[in-house]
Structure 1
Amino acid sequence: MYPKNAWYVACMPEEIADKPLGRQICGEKMVLYRGVEGAAKALEDFCPHRGAPLSLGFVRDGNLVCGYHGLEMGCDGKTVAMPGQRVRGFPCIKSFPVIERYGFIWVWPGDPAQADPAKLPHLAWAESPDWAYGGGLYYIKCDYRLMVDNLMDLTHETYVHASSIGQKEIDEAPVTTRVEGDEVITSRHMENITAPPFWKMALRGNDLPDDQAVDRWQVCHFTPPSHVLIEVGVALAGKGGIDAPQNEKAGSIVVDFITPETETTHWYFWGMARNFKPHDKELTASIREGQGKVFGEDREMLERQQENLLKHPERKLLMLNIDAGGVQSRRVIDRLLAAERPA
C-alpha cells in the first residue's frame, strides 16, 4: 500500500520539544525524541523488557527511559542500563534513520541501508529569508492515496470549498497533465476572472486591489512517495499570470506532506509558503487560519469517501480526464511498491 524506502515527514520539531512522541508511520510504531545534543532520533516504540511503549517514558542524558520499569535505551536501539539489573545483553530494537531539515523531522521507515539523505526533497523556499511559512497537522481517516487524488485534481474546489477558494471557472478551465520521471504535474490557468474570497484576502495582504479582474493559476507537483506541492496564486489581469512581477500578484506554494499511518489512515502536514511580505507575522497567521479551514473541509469529504469505499469494495470507480494527475501519481507509487517486493 505504501513504499517504505522513502523519506516521510514524521513530525514537527515542536512535537518532541518536551517529551517523546509515539507515532505510527507506514505500519511501523515508533517513538521520536531528542537524544544527545538535542538530535532527533526514532526507535521502535517497544521496550524489550515487557513490551511497554517507550513513548510513555522520558529522556535522560540523551537516553530514552521506559516509563514502566526504568530501562534505558540508546539511540541505536541497544539497552544501556536499568536500576539494579544487568540488561546490556538484551536484543536490540529497531532504530530508524532520521533527518531534521526544512522545519520538519523526516524518517525512513524501510531498509536503513537505503536511507540516502540525497533522496530528501529539496525545498528552496524553506531555506530562504524571502519566504514565510505557516502550517499545521491533521489526522485523516482515509487511504493516503485518496488525499493524493484530491490534491492532484483541484476541480473539487468549486464544490467543497465554495466559500473560500472555489469558483465556477475552475470547472471550465482545461487541465493539462504531464509526467517527468517520477514527478507528475497538472496545470490549470484561468484568465480575467474574479478572485474568490481567500485570494481577495491575499491580494489585500500584498497591498493590491481586490476588486479588479485577475489571472489565476494552479500547478500541482506530485513527487514520491506522497508529497504534493502546488503553485497557486492570482495576478492582476493582463500582467503575466504566474510570471507577473511580484508587485502585481499574490502567489504561494501549498505544501502537502502526506504520511501513511495504516492502509486507511494518514498524517497530513499542510501549510502555505509565500514570497510576499515574508516578515508580516499577522499575515502569516491569517493565511494559516484560512488554509486550515480549507483543509478541514477536505477532511470530512475524504473520510466519508473512505467509508463508502470500504462498504462497497466491489464497485469500480469511474475515471475522467480530470483524474489524470491522480492516476499517473498512483502509477508512480505502484512502481515504487513493485521495486520493493522480493524478486
Structure 2
Amino acid sequence: MVGSTTAKIFDFPRNAWYVAAWDYEVGRKPLARTIAGQPMALFRTEDGAPIALADACWHRLAPLSMGTLVGRDEIQCPYHGLRYDSAGRCTSMPAQETINPSARVPAFATVDRFRYVWVWPGDAELADPDLIPDMHQMTDAAWTGDGELIHAPCNYQLVLDNLMDLTHEEFVHSSSIGQAELSESDFLTSHTDRTVTVERWMRDIEPPPFWLKNMRDRFPGFSGRVDRWQIIHFEAPSTIRIDVGVAEAGTGAPEVDRSRGVNGYVMNTITPETDRSCLYFWSFQRNYRLESQLITTQLRNGVHNVFGEDERMLAAQQAAIDANPGYEFYSLNIDAGGMWVRRILDGLLAAEGRSAVAPPTSAPSASVA
C-alpha cells in the first residue's frame, strides 16, 4: 500500500488555466459555463476575440448569459438593460446619463488555443499564456481526430485518478481495450513540480478488439501479436495526454520505431465546475490514415462508448463518497501517479492560501514495479 488520503476533495486551484469550451461553442450568442465554481458568460467580439465575464449583472445579479450582444463587444443585461464592455465596465444604464463608477462585473483572462477557449478564473495579473498545458496534437498537421464534452457528475479529481491509472480498463472496459496484461505489467512513474508521467509497456501480447481494428485499418488483414504502450502525461492543473498504441511484436516500438504500428493520443482536459461536477473535454488524435473521415468518426464513437462506461463508474463513486463522509481513500502501488497529481494540486492550493486534501501518510515511490 502506498498511502491514504481523505475522500473529501472539494476545492480546486483558481490561479490556473482551464478549458471553458470548444472554440466553436463560443460565438455571438452568450454561453453560460461554470469554471472552478465561478459562473461565467462567454461570447466573442465582432473581431472574434473570446470574452469571459462573471455571469451576474452588477444591478440585480441577473445572468448576463441570458442577455444579448450589442455593437462590437458589449453585452446587455436581459433584465434592465445595463450594458458592459469586454473588460466588464458598465457603459450604459437605463433612464439615467450618469453611470455609477462602481458598476462593473469581473472579467477573466481568455485565450484561444488548441481548438479550445481557455479561461483563468483567478488573479488575471498572473494569467501567463505560456502556462497553458501542451496539447499541440490537437492542431498539429501531422495529427487528426475529434472529440466531445462530457458533463461528468463527480469531483474533477476522480476523473484525474481514473486517467492516471489505466489498469481499470481490464475490468471497466473488458470488451474493448481491457486485458489482463494491464495489471500484470510493470510501470514507471516520474514527476516534476507541475507534471507526472506514468509509462507502461506490454510486450508480445494479443491485441484487444479496439486495437486490432485499428491495426487492420492501417495494415489490412493484420493478425498476430503486438507490443502495446500507454504513456500518461499529466500537466497541472488538469490536462492529461495519453500516448497509446500497438505495433507488430518485436518490430522496435519500445526502442522508438513505431512504423509497424498505430499510434494515438487520448487528449483529456478536465475543468472543475462544482465540488461534485466537472466539464470533461476529450479528443482522440491519430497520426495515420489522416485522410479518412470514416476512421475519425469511428474512433470518436468508439471512445465515446468507452468513456460512457467510465462516466457511469465515476457517478457511482461520487455517490458512494457522498454517502460515506470522512472516509479515507486507501492507495495501492497502481495509484502512484494519481497521488503525485494530488500532491501537485495541493501545492497549488497552498500557494493560494487554501487547502483541500490532507497529505498522504507516505510518499509514493518514483518507480513502481
Taking structure 1 as the reference length, the TM-score comes to 0.95
Equivalent pair of 1:132/1:278 in contact (CA under 8 Å): yes
Q: 2:218 aligns with which of 206, 209, 227?
A: 206
1:54 aligns with 2:64: yes
Q: Secondary structure at the match of 2:170?
A: helix
**Deviation (angstroms), 1:83:** 4.8
Is 1:180 the counterpart of 2:192? The answer is yes
1:286 to 1:138, Cα distance in 2 relative to 1, 3 A: same
Single out whichever of 84-93 and 191-200 deviates more from structure 2.
84-93
Instruction: Please state if 1:72 is matched with 2:83.
Output: yes
| 1:82 to partner: Cα distance | 4.2
Change (3 A) 1:246 1:188: closer
Deviations 1:250-309 (A, max 9, x none): 111111101000111110001111111223211111111111111111001011001111
SS state at 2:223 partner: coil
Contact 2:28 2:69 survives alignment (8 Å): no
| SS at 1:317 equivalent | strand
SS of aligned partner of 1:166: coil
| 2:240 counterpart of 1:228 | yes
Say if 1:134 and 1:272, in contact at 8 Å, map to a contact too.
Answer: yes
- Assess if the C-alpha contact under 8 Å between 1:153 and 1:326 holds in 2: yes
Hey, what's the Cα distance between the residues in 2 that align with 1:193 and 1:208?
A: 19
1:38 corresponds to which residue? 48
Partner Cα separation in structure 2 for residue 105 and residue 196 of structure 1: 35
Does the Cα contact within 8 Å between 2:133 and 2:236 map onto a contact in 1? no
How big is the shift at 1:245?
A: 4.1
Mapping of residues 116-135 of structure 1, within 5 Å: 116-135=128-147
Deviations 1:117-143 (A, max 9, x none): 111123332332111021100011111
Query: What is the rounded CA distance, in whole Å, between the counterparts of 1:255 and 1:87 in structure 2?
Result: 50
The residue aligned with 1:17 is: 27
* Residues in 2 aligned to 1:86 and 1:145: alpha-carbon distance in whole angstroms: 49
**Which residue number corresponds to residue 261 of structure 1?**
273
CA contact (8 A) 2:240 2:268 kept: yes
* Cα distance change, pair 119–263 in 1 and its aligned pair in 2 (3 A): same
> Which residue number corresponds to residue 189 of structure 1?
201
Alignment pair present for 1:153 and 2:165: yes
* Higher relative contact order structure (alpha carbons within 8 Å, sequence separation ≥ 6): 2
Q: How many residues align structurally? A: 342
1:71 is displaced (CA, Å) by: 2.1
SS at match of 1:10: strand
Structure 2: any 5+ residue segments left out of the alignment?
A: 1-10, 355-369
More helix per residue? 1
CA distance in 2, matches of 1:250, 1:331: 34
Which residue is equivalent to 2:315? 303
Letter in 2 for 1:72: R
Partners of 2:111 and 2:45 in 1: how far apart?
13
- Which amino acid is the alignment partner of residue 86 of structure 1? E
Write the letter of the residue equivalent to 1:100: D
CA contact (8 A) 1:34 1:59 kept: no
TM-score normalised by the chain length of structure 2? 0.89
Structure 1: tracts of 5 or more residues without a match: none
Change (3 A) 1:3 1:165: same
